Amino acid sequence: MDPLTLRLGSEPLPYFRTHEFSEVMLEVDTTIKRLVGTEVSSRAAVLAASGTGAMEAAVISTFTPSDKVLVVEGGAFGRRFGDICHAHGIPHEALQLQFGEALTADHLQRYTHTGLTGMLVNSHETSVGQLYNLRMLRDFCKANEVCLVVDAIGSFLADDYRMDELGVDVTIISSQKGLGLPPGLAVVIANRQTYEQRISRGRPRSVYLDLRAYFTDMERGQTPFTPAEGIVLQLHEKLRRLESETVESRINRSANLASDFRGRVRSLAVTVPSYPLSNALTPLLCDSAYDVFTRLKDEYGLWVTPSGGELKDVLIRVGHLGELTIEDNERLANALGEVV
Ligand SMILES: *Cc1c(COP(=O)(O)O)cnc(C)c1O
């Protein structure tokens, strides 16, 4: 996290049902749309929720039990989309990838002309670090008239992401990844067509996660429920800075950290998987992966990300987001060299 964000987090919070706070929200609305690369006619909803809250809100506000949705399940976050569809009775099929398997056009080919109306995908399946080819997904969705909902939480500000150019109908992002803010705020952005033809006509069985109220309240810079106000203020400040620094330079920063780190670990007893990677993190296959995580934490004061489930002892992940530096990479690569 950067010093300006941290400083803002220490300030007391003003009351928010005011003209002044609405101005802040409206600026967040227009800036975030610009930064994800979508037209002003798109709609943004700011939720007090972790990323999963926004995933669930997006799914139940966009799709109904009359839809048929393809879920790309290449890891834990893809499975989460499947779980959400299951919980809400939204018919779905899972395109399951084995660990290590890259998503290709051949996988999609099987689903042409099968009556699909939607697709749910995480642009970067953060649990394993695979970056999907969104242009390939766009072409499939266009050809099959499928509504494309993308969880871009794991790649926003780390990988190139331009919503309209990529034919994405609904984008989901959250505060605690590339934006480098505390967790607890998430944003759903829907293009005009999806808002008008799907979301505004929907009747999701939820009060808190019904996006319609968020979208209409945003017209006057407000939210239906108490916003994560402190994080909104941190987001507002961060977005302003991103506008002047540019999104491209943020992405380059992660890209440079990623390529530097991958170069440093080439000579170590670790393997980087061969599927396409995001700049947000480097997945590393190594023996006793969970012990490596624990030893780096306890013996070196360095925190990497362990995996859950069957990858627990196989895979760790090293982040390249936020204020990390080349010196951090050097320290970690040296420690890794000793531990593995
Ligand atoms: C981090 C992340 C989420 C958010 O999960 P929460 O724990 O609910 O914030 C969702 N999708 C992806 C791809 C992520 O990387």
* Minimum-distance ligand 1 atom for the alpha carbon of 126: 15
Query: pLDDT by residue (tens digit) across 145-193?
Result: 999 999 999 999 999 999 999 999 999 999 999 999 999 999 999 999 9
Task: Report the SS3 class of residue 279.
Answer: coil
Query: 315-326 pLDDT, tens per residue?
Result: 999 999 999 999
Average pLDDT, the chain: 97
Q: Which residues of 123-148 are buried (b: 16+ CB within 10 A; e: fewer)?
A: bbbbbbbbbbebeebbebbeebebbb
Percent of the chain with pLDDT over 70: 100
Ligand 1 proximal residues by C-beta, below 6 Å: 50-52, 77, 122, 126, 151, 153-154, 174, 177, 183
Tokens of 251: 């992405």
Distance 338 CA to ligand 1 centre (A): 31
Task: Assign 102 a pLDDT band (cuts: 50, 70, 90).
Answer: very high
**Cα–Cα distances in Å, from 57 out to 22, 136, 148, 171?**
22, 26, 15, 12
Q: Which amino acid is at 237?
A: E
* Alpha carbon nearest to ligand 1 atom 6, residue: 51
Cα 267 to ligand 1 centroid, rounded to whole Å? 31
Tens of pLDDT, residue by residue over 211-235, are: 999 999 999 999 999 999 999 999 9
Range 191-195 contact pairs with CB under 8 angstroms and sequence separation of 24 or more = 191/38, 191/39, 191/41, 191/42, 191/163, 191/164, 192/39, 192/41, 192/42, 192/43, 193/169, 194/62, 194/147, 194/169, 194/170, 195/42, 195/43
Whether residue 222 contacts residue 17, with contact meaning beta carbons closer than 8 Å, is answered with yes
- Give the bridge partners for 46, in sequence order: 187
Mean pLDDT of 25-41: 98
- Name the band, by pLDDT with cuts 50, 70 and 90, for residue 64: very high
Residue among 50, 56, 277, 281 to mutate when testing ligand 1 (max atoms within 8 A of CB): 50
Question: For atom 10 of ligand 1, which residue has the closest CA?
Answer: 51
Classify residue 179 as exposed, middle or buried by CB count within 10 Å of its CB (0-12, 13-18, 19+).
buried
Question: What's the pLDDT tens digit per position in 83-97?
Answer: 999 999 999 999 999
Pocket probe mutation, ligand 1, options 125, 131, 153, 171, max atoms within 8 Å of Cβ: 153
Give whole-number Cα distances, 268 to 40, 107, 150, 290, 326, in Å: 48, 33, 35, 17, 18
Pocket test for ligand 1, best of 47, 149, 151 (most atoms within 8 A of CB): 151
Query: Which residue in 102, 87, 79 sits closest to 310, CA to CA?
Result: 79
pLDDT at 271: 97
Task: Give residue for tokens 């033809």.
Answer: 197
Nearest ligand 1 atom to alpha carbon 183? 9
DSSP string, 32-45: HHHHHT--TTSEEE
Distance CA 187, CA 63 (A): 18
Distance of CA 74 from the midpoint of ligand 1 (Å)? 14
The answer to whether the CB of 317 falls within 8 A of the CB of 304 is: yes
pLDDT digits (tens, 9 = 90+) for 132-144: 999 999 999 999 9
Backbone angles phi, psi at 146, to 5 degrees: -105, 135
